[in-house]
Amino acid sequence: MVVPKCPIRLDYRQYLLVSTINHKLSNFADHIDDMSHDAINRFLRNENMAPNLAWDNVQDLAITLNR
């Protein structure tokens, strides 16, 4: 019996960066072979990811447009 892996912040951040349209939990679970939908759901329910923390982690990757 294979025990599903638990998600970590890096897994979820990478998913958000590459998923430009569908950010739903079920889509994330569909693309991660060794994580269950329930494990991802528990992770997101218990994890405190403030918007400013997320921005601090991806700010250098953002492309700014000069208009």
- Given a cut of 60, is residue 3 above it in pLDDT? no
- For 14-61, write each residue's pLDDT tens digit: 887 787 777 777 888 887 777 788 888 888 888 777 778 778 877 787
Contact 15, 31 (CB under 8 A): yes
The pLDDT of residue 65: 58
Model pTM? Answer: 0.54
The pLDDT of residue 64: 66
The pLDDT of residue 7: 66
Longest dimension (CA), the chain: 55
**CA 61 to chain CA mean position, Å:** 16
The pLDDT of residue 66: 63
Q: Let me know if 36 is exposed, middle or buried by CB neighbors in 10 A (0-12, 13-18, 19+).
A: middle
